[in-house]
């Protein structure tokens, strides 16, 4: 599944502060339909993501009936956005076992 959407970045100040992008409901519905074949522990869904010219692999996490995308500091710095900014994201769900833990595995 390929999806493109825009969302507002927010910071969650838990034990380890992190920034997240909430996925829109229609994208969550499409991901949920694929989650049975891609999801692993705690409902995480592996994805390949692009914001601007920066690409990386990570996992969506379930939150409040939807999904959120974690965004690392190096991505925010490279693409020059921060808390409260709206950014456009392109993502592709990776099949279970389709990516290595170090991000070097193939994505489909």
Q: Is residue 21 a part of any domain in this protein? A: yes
> pLDDT by residue (tens digit) across 16-38?
668 999 999 999 999 998 887 88
Alpha-carbon distance values, 3 to 16, 74, 84 (Å): 28, 22, 22
Q: Residue 42: its pLDDT value, please? A: 82
Q: Is residue 18 a part of any domain in this protein? A: yes
Instruction: Output the pTM of the full model.
Output: 0.83
Indicate which CATH number applies to the domain containing 89. Answer: 2.40.30.100
Instruction: Write out residues in the chain with pLDDT < 70, as ranges.
Output: 1, 15-17, 96-108
Dihedral class, residue 34 (left if φ above 0, else alpha if ψ from -120 to 50, else beta): alpha
Quote the CA–CA distance of 80 and 95 in Å, as a whole number.
30
Count of the separate structural domains present in the chain: 1
Structure tokens at 92: 């592709």
Give me the helices (H) in 1-108, please. Answer: 25-38, 73-79
Q: Is residue 98 a part of any domain in this protein? A: no
In which domain, by residue range, is 35 found? 2-93
């Amino acid at each position: 599944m390929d999806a493109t959407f825009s969302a507002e970045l927010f910071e969650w100040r838990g034990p380890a502060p992190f920034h997240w992008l909430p996925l829109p409901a229609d994208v969550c519905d499409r991901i949920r339909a694929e989650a049975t074949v891609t999801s692993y522990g705690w409902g995480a869904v592996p994805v390949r993501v692009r914001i601007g010219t920066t690409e990386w692999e990570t996992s969506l996490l379930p939150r409040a009936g939807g999904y959120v995308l974690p965004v690392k500091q190096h991505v925010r710095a490279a693409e020059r956005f921060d808390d409260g900014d709206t950014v456009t994201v392109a993502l592709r769900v990776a099949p279970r076992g389709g990516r290595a833990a170090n991000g070097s595995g193939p994505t489909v």
